[in-house]
Amino acid sequence: LENARLFDETQRRAAELATINTVSQALAGELNLESLIELVGEQIRNTFNADIAYVALLNEETDTINFSYTHGEELTPMPYGQGLTSKIIETGKPLLINQDLDKRRQELGATQVGNQARSYLGVPIFVASRAIGVVSVQSTEQENVFTEDDQRLLGTIAANVGVALQNARFFDEIQTRNREITESLEQQT
């Protein structure tokens, strides 16, 4: 029995490492922000077999949360401060709720946004030590779907997303500066 348990644990760890490796390799080569988010969304949806999955990013200029990737429901931009996503960004801490989601949401002072889930896992995306978004997976059918191991795996994926987002933003800034310099040089000549 112990050997069977260890074998299962080894298989699960190998699957987690394969997921992290796949996401890391894909993110390392992607500088297009939309493609990057789509790739991450599809990977987490498949890895966690989620009924609902999303990647949400905070727009600090408009104080809204934009759902750059969604699966299972369409989420429209919402004011920062509503819902569990805002709570995760605000605290910078992951949120794992497997039972009594309504009760837990009320305790946190968060409003219901979108479809009702029975199990919820959300982790912050950090850029330069600031939470700027959330990666979330949810089950609308069952409670107790996600574990602390799932939380760690999703946290690792979110950390990779943060680095990739920062790289993509730097790349966009460099492209914009290059265009400005080129235009300036053309005007001078």
Contact call for residues 80 and 95 (beta carbons, < 8 A): no
In the three-class reduction of DSSP (H, G, I as helix; E, B as strand; rest coil), residue 121 is classed as strand
pLDDT in tens, 61-79: 999 999 999 998 888 899 9
- What angle (nearest 5°) sits at the alpha carbon of residue 44, between those of residues 38 and 50? 115
Select from 85, 69, 7, 79 the least CA-distant residue to 33.
69
Tens digit of pLDDT for each residue in 15-54? 776 776 676 666 666 566 788 788 888 888 888 889 999 9
Tokens 């104080």 locate to 63
How much is the pTM? 0.77
pLDDT value, residue 67: 93
Query: Which structure tokens are listed for 169?
Result: 């933003």
Q: Are 17 and 153 in contact (CB under 8 A)?
A: no
Distance CA 148, CA 166 (A): 27
